[in-house]
Amino acid sequence: MDTSLKSTTFSGRCGISRTGLGARLLARPEDLPAPGDLEITEVAVPRPASGQVLVRNLFMSLDPGMLMLIAGESGLPMPRYELGEVMYGDAAGEVVASRDPSLVEGDLVTHRLGRREYAVAQAGLFRRVDRDAYPTPSTCLASGWSPNVGLMEAAELWPGDTVFVSSAAGATGAMAGQTARFKGATRVIGSAGSRDKAAYPTGRLGFDAPFDCHDGPIVDRLREAAPDGIDVCFDNVGGEQLSAAIEVINPHGRIAVCGALNRQSTAGPDSGPGDLLSVLGERLAVRGFTTGDHLERAAEFGAQFRAWLREGAIVHYEVVLDYGWGVVILVRAVIAFQRAGL
């Protein structure tokens, strides 16, 4: 992809871009995306109309779920990426022009119109962020809200629970394990795609017994890590790992389904749960969730998450790549893009 393009500017007093760069999907790959599947090109940036704002994106989050949107997977709770169109995603940016009183020039905002240099939309699609509330502007894109919804709303976590988090070294899994501990879990177990990845949750995130999901049958590794069973599964993977969780989970256990990283494996999806008789016999609750269904709790969690950051109670790790036209944040979810595992 050519990232050397430069956008042009208005010649008038506005001083903002007439065009900006955007990442467009050209083809749906059968495997991981190749350079020819995507392009970075100049796209028109309209002047904001009444009630709209113009935002220059500063940070854009690169997430593993993008692979399913690129592939056009069905059954997702969000629209797939369409061929020929600029893609979308979580981003943080600065308001450069506003025609709505709720936002003013210079405001830092988050939104879902990433993968482009400039975003123009109704003001209600942008959420203002206090610049002083986070260590860096990029931190407001941390994957904390999804784990909180999954654990507290979908899985109804109770103090004293034993929790299993699949893909524990990824951005969402890392936050899920720490959140589970803060919310009262007495034991937190996680899977990762290699021994090195499994060491990360152990050393920095406080997991009790992470394991390499390629080190023998997953159900055996999970039983070793949780000899008394698990009460909650925060599932980012599906496939064999979800099957193992169903086999090891205690009666009345709860499973929050957050993702399906096994579908992104270059070897093809693992076999998932087949006969669900054990779900019936053990009276298990299996729930998918989206954060948009629980926005009434977002402000409360945001205050709590910022307090964790101020106190140094939570570990947030990110890698920032600067491509010149916009900055992309690679949090630990970048692991999901590697061919070696989950």
> What DSSP line would sit under 122-162, residue for residue?
EGGG-EEE-GGGSSSGGGGG-TTHHHHIIIIIIS---TT-E
State residue 326's pLDDT score: 52
| 8 Å CB contact between 157 and 149 | no
List strand residue ranges (DSSP E) for the chain, in order: 19-25, 38-44, 52-61, 91-98, 108-111, 118-122, 127-129, 162-165, 187-192, 211-212, 230-235, 249-257, 285-288, 318-322, 327-331
Residue 24 lies in a domain: yes
Residue-level pLDDT at 273: 66
With beta carbons less than 8 A apart as the criterion, state whether 90 and 63 touch. yes
CATH number for the domain harbouring residue 266: 3.40.50.720
* The pLDDT of residue 311: 84
Question: Domain check: are 110 and 183 in the same one?
Answer: no
> Both 117 and 164 in a single domain?
no
Q: Which of 141, 167, 189 is a domain's end point?
A: 141
pLDDT of residue 57: 93
Return the closest-CA partner of residue 143 out of 316, 336, 259, 338.
Answer: 316
Residues 229 and 247 in one domain: yes
> Is 170 in the same domain as 287?
yes
69: domain CATH number is: 3.90.180.10
Q: Residue 197 is part of which domain span? A: 146-291
Inter-residue long-range contacts of 213-218, CB under 8 Å, 24+ positions, other chains counted: 213/166, 213/241, 213/341, 213/342, 214/341, 217/244, 218/191, 218/243, 218/244
Q: How many Å apart are CA 34 and CA 183, to the nearest integer?
A: 41
Domain end among 89, 114, 141: 141
pLDDT for res 125: 94
Quick one: 60 and 158 in the same domain?
no
H helix or E strand, kind and range, residue 225: helix 218-225
Domains contained in the chain, number: 2
Q: Are 84 and 145 in contact (CB under 8 A)?
A: no
pLDDT by 10s per residue, the chain, length 342: 333 334 434 333 445 557 899 999 999 988 778 888 989 889 999 999 999 999 999 998 887 778 888 888 777 778 899 999 999 999 999 999 999 999 999 999 999 998 999 999 999 999 999 888 888 888 888 878 889 999 999 999 999 999 999 998 888 898 999 999 999 999 999 998 888 888 877 777 888 988 888 888 999 999 999 999 999 999 998 889 999 999 999 999 999 998 877 765 544 455 566 667 778 888 999 999 888 788 888 888 888 888 888 888 888 877 777 766 555 554 433 333 333 333
Tell whether 189 and 218 lie within a shared domain.
yes
Looking at residue 336, what is its pLDDT?
A: 31
258 falls within a domain:
yes
Q: Are residues 127 and 166 in the same domain?
A: no
pLDDT at 266: 44
DSSP 8-state secondary structure symbol assigned to residue 120: E
- Identify the pLDDT of residue 282: 86
Residue-by-residue DSSP string for 32-78: S--GGGEEEEEEE-PPP-TTEEEEEEEEEE--TTHHHHHHT-SS-SS
Say yes or no: 137 and 188 in one domain. no
In the beta sheet, which residues pair with residue 190? 165
Judgement on whether residues 54 and 132 belong to the same structural domain of the protein: yes
Q: Is 192 helix (H, G, I), strand (E, B) or coil?
A: strand
Residue entry with tokens 């779920």: 65
Q: What is the pLDDT of residue 267?
A: 45
| In-domain check, residue 135 | yes
Is residue 152 domain-resident? yes
Exposed e or buried b for every residue in 281-317, given b needs 16+ CB within 10 A? Answer: eeebebeebebeebeeeeeebbeebbebbeeeebbbe
